[in-house]
Structure 1
Amino acid sequence: LDDIDGLEANVVDDMLAEFSQVEAQSMIQNNDQTDTPNTYGGTNGLRGLNQYAGAAATYAGGEITTAAFGTSGTGSTSGLATLATYDQLTTNGNVAGAANVTYKDMINFIYSLPQQYWTKDAKFCINPLMLAQVRGLTDDNGTPVFERMAPLETEGIVGRLLGFDVVVNKYLDTPSYAGVDKANLFPMYFGDWQRGHTIVDRLNMVLRRYDQTLPGYITFFGEKRLATSIVDPNAIIRYRSTGTANA
């Protein structure tokens, strides 16, 4: 295949990118407590960040809940940690494209993380639309709140926020939805990921090439298994932009 403009190398690169995309989705959305429907990683070993408890039952703008380790026991939910969840000062409600995040929200949010986790490994994980809303914040004179001085602190479209690196993941919740009964929307996380979250590769990436499947066909087979988990719920905090579709 490499005789055709390096086609094989391009196919392999595309497959690896697809695996990375599925991993990014699973680590946010997978629910390991249900079989049907469940298309993001199965019921064994992969609990997406959005599936952890911790958000207050009633939306309370400007407030944050308390993180906790799970309790002991044999029930299906025993041992599952809860994440401290901050509620945006003004909910986005059920208005598509609503952008009620404020600079005060960002300050309230990051300073809700316990001080012992203010480390060089602390990073934002954020939905791209949420990042655009944060980047669009301006003061009363219309001057951007972030990156107001030239040259930029960090080159590129992502940059840094409040001195911390930013990881963009499109599978985090969009900050708002219209007319969709979605109980909680979590467009952003922040914390020390080295201490708070772990990814366990249960099987190294396997990529096999089969030349003789059918005349004129070459089949590639890829496999990778992994598990993820919150190991210290105090090290990561979560941002909620909408509590219910109408609140």
Structure 2
Amino acid sequence: MKIAVLIKYVPEATAAWRFAEDHTLDRDSVDGRLSELDEYAVEQAVRLVEAGSATEISYLTMGPARAVDAVRKALAMGGDRAVHVLDDALHGSDAVGTASVLAAALRRMEFDLVIFGMASTDAEMSVLPVMVADLLRLPAVANAVTLRVDGSALTAERETDDAIEEVVAPLPALVSVTDRSGEARYPSFKGIVAAKKKPVTTWSLSDLEIAPERVGTAGAATEVLAVRPSPPREAGTVIVDEGDAAVRLAEFLAANKLL
């Protein structure tokens, strides 16, 4: 069985983000990394290989040139090869355009199972897995906490507020996993060295036979009208216990509608 794992290069969450005049994120002004939530998808794929349920892992990402750093980290954790969709015309693509590009790339790849993280840590929309599944006409299982492949079927468990659901889907299928699916491993030194030698193929829009006007800002189905920086943090309230700390704390919580 062959697995394709979708990963994303995202800006560091603790960095100060800047936006360009077109209201898109200025990615050159901030350091980036492999999305933490995508590390869980990588981990689940590697575990399936270790369990003997899969034989090959390929990674797929779409992003700027520096997105290869995320690819190399994933390859250091495990896996065999990667595809990087890189094209200047992709700048400003929204979820609709991104899903169409990723689906087109997956059509050129061999897979029996596609694994996503539950969301990216920058946009946090959580819509791409089901959008891609719809474009590829694949059964989709969202927010899984466990995965098991038995023959030609995927079995996944997902937790809700009321129950634990077991979902079975025929392969090929697509699944997204949550951050409760299992702690992601750290790349070993041996894995980091090996990752540098693993093949990373770069595809452009022309390789995918996608017209530039279908993606990017021009092809976006949504529009960002304005952006503004987060307000600075205000100083907190310090309560010194002079015998009435409990009462003052309760009053503070009630005043802020936290109680």
What's the TM-score, normalizing by structure 1?
Answer: 0.26
Which structure has greater helix proportion? 2
What's the TM-score, normalizing by structure 2?
Answer: 0.25
